[in-house]
A and B are shown apart, each in its own frame.
Chain A
């Protein structure tokens, strides 16, 4: 059975793969020696995992037709608490096994805080029946507020040297953040496409009422989804903390828009019911190629924001059935 090119391009993921390759080739042609340098490629691999993991967090909630606007708040809160453990209990001078133990403990604490924050969000959505936008908008403010109250608004610094490994280390020449992202993406992809939980998630997103009538435990489902999102955000927070070698209540505030943008760009339906992790990964890659390519061309950060916005709207237009219908009508008349 041979498929035509146009039918192959009918899925959003295939179109995205094409976009990612085009952006890569375009940037490689524009500045081949700098864009394709080993240094640039590794620096990209260190940069994108933190917001890519946040995008995964947004993705899982979007699959249920919800959204998580508190991801940045959760990641900062868990990073701040982890940082306080590392800085004040472990101390800057901790080395060897002790430091590693504190690092692991702080990660466990961060993950638990992320999960508890997610549980709180999930409870608001499931039991109180709040719209996810408002629930996570309000809780995000609270999480950020708690982080501000804990630190008094200043950065927490002075970690043992081992903490830097998480964000800056290499394993067999591969950056640790990249490994972490690949692992998490694989896990989320597995959960979404290979487990009963994932199937229920998509079903609920496609039609909440039908899911309820199919005797799916909707409340339990929502709780777990938001917990997953919170835990993923906490991992992103740990990465940011390790890379910045400090934690602060207002780090990464631009990541919220970026992570939603990546999820939507990745073909996840904001109304729920459709989305693939591979799409999100492709979207992350195209964004990163684009932004570091633009960096090499000395485009300002503001222009990057402009280009991201244009890209988001463009992709939405391309994927919109309505736009396609309007275009077709114009062609025939």
Chain B
């Protein structure tokens, strides 16, 4: 039986998104148009890639706040390196370099968390400032707008391009395909491989996972390396799309990302999280960040809105769980 279950975050978030769009369309009919859609999709790319990674960490029972620093580090260092030594490399090699850099930084998190079993929030808070401090002290703190030619070339590659009735342009860059690939790959890992089952198992209970023979250290290590690589990818795409490598960028986004992920129903305690929910959460956050003004709510209320969404989105399930527990006891 497939009832609509209101207790599920996915359903809740989807309804809020629909309501949001309905109200936005009522107050401004131009809201329901292809340019709005392509704008939202484009703005969701970076947040989406980050969120998929953050979701994976939550599922494994941890939390990561350092990924934005990893992204900034990988993006900026790759750009500086390329401009110095090999400005002519094609974009896919550039992306690969950034991802490898991100994965290497992820290794540091992985060692501290998987091998030394330090608490994940504190470790990643620490590595956040280490990565950022290292980047700004030793690599550089100047913005670079003269990017390698192929990064700029990538930003001009469009999947869809068109003109409105009123003559304005809209377009969806190929960078969006990166988000799609990341989502499909993560879905495959989570649901079609032993590794994915192990990640869920560890998140549920790492002691039980260990007893049924899962190599917990190795799986956790993989999670942080994978998230690092995703962060590197998101960083380099961000720089390419904005045609600017700004070392101060991205850091500060982690709270929005975690908000998107928990709105999508991933549990902080681990063991539960879905890609659908995560993407819906991202959609909602992007909507709030870009289109609140359409509803007549001033943009100064943006953080209040996101805060309330987090509290309601995570409070409702928590409250229901608490009531269920009280009834069982």
Q: Which residues of A contact B (CB under 8 A)?
A: 67, 124, 128-131, 133-135, 137-146, 148-149, 152-153, 257, 260-261, 264, 270-271, 300, 302-310, 312-313, 316-317, 320, 322-323, 326
Contacts and interface: CB of A to CB of B under 8 A. Distances in A.
Q: 7 nearest interchain CB pairs?
A: A306-B133, A145-B304, A141-B307, A138-B310, A309-B130, A302-B136, A142-B307
10 contacts: A140-B307, A142-B304, A148-B303, A261-B129, A270-B122, A304-B133, A310-B126, A316-B112, A316-B126, A320-B116
A270 B119 CA distance: 8
B171 to A, nearest CB: 32
A144, A148, A305 — most chain B CB neighbours (10 Å): A305
Contacts of A322: 115-118
Contacts of B304: 141-142, 145-146, 149
A67 B301 CA distance: 25
Interface string B290-303: 00000000101111
B188 to A, nearest CB: 29
Nearest to B118: A316
B92 interface: no
B269 interface: yes
A157 to B, nearest CB: 19
B319 to A, nearest CB: 5
A313 B315 contact: no
Interface in B38-75: 63
B158 interface: no
B125 interface: yes
A185 to B, nearest CB: 22
Contacts of B130: 305-306, 309-310, 313
B218 interface: no
Contacts, number: 151
A193 to B, nearest CB: 24
Contact of A309 (B118, B126, B311): B126
A18 B32 CA distance: 64
Nearest to A145: B304
Given A142-B307, A308-B133, 19 more contacts: A128-B315, A128-B318, A129-B319, A131-B314, A135-B314, A135-B315, A137-B255, A139-B307, A144-B307, A148-B303, A257-B125, A270-B121, A270-B122, A304-B133, A305-B133, A306-B130, A313-B118, A320-B116, A320-B117
B308 A138 contact: yes
B314 A130 contact: yes
B179 interface: no
Contact of B133 (A140, A307, A313): A307
Given A303-B137, A312-B122, A316-B118, A129 B318 contact: yes
A145 B141 CA distance: 29
A148 B300 CA distance: 6
B225 interface: no
Contacts of B298: 149
Interface of B: 63, 112, 115-119, 121-123, 125-137, 141, 255, 258-259, 262, 268-269, 298, 300-311, 314-315, 318-319, 321-322
A136 to B, nearest CB: 10
B295 to A, nearest CB: 16
A304 B133 CA distance: 7
B301 A305 contact: no
Nearest to A308: B129
Contact of B315 (A130, A260, A312, A326): A130
Contact of A313 (B127, B258, B303, B322): B127
Contacts of A313: 112, 118, 123, 126-127, 130
Contact of B310 (A141, A146, A152, A326): A141
Given A153-B300, A310-B130, A130 B125 contact: no
Contacts of A264: 122
A129 B322 CA distance: 6
Contact of A135 (B121, B305, B311): B311
A320 B113 CA distance: 11
A124 B319 CA distance: 9
Contacts of B300: 145, 148-149, 152-153
Nearest to B314: A134
B63 to A, nearest CB: 7
Contacts of A124: 311, 315
B322 to A, nearest CB: 4
Contacts of A142: 303-304, 307-308, 311
A128 B129 contact: no
Contacts of A67: 121
Contacts of B115: 322, 326
B135 to A, nearest CB: 8
Given A131-B318, A148-B300, A138 B307 contact: yes
Nearest to A321: B117
A146 B302 CA distance: 10
A317 B111 CA distance: 11
Contact of B129 (A131, A271, A300, A309): A309
A308 B302 CA distance: 32
B306 A141 contact: yes
A134 B307 contact: no
A140 B306 CA distance: 11
Contacts of A140: 307
Nearest to A313: B126
B308 A261 contact: no
Contacts of B255: 137, 141
A309 B122 CA distance: 10
A227 to B, nearest CB: 18
Contacts of B310: 134, 137-138, 141
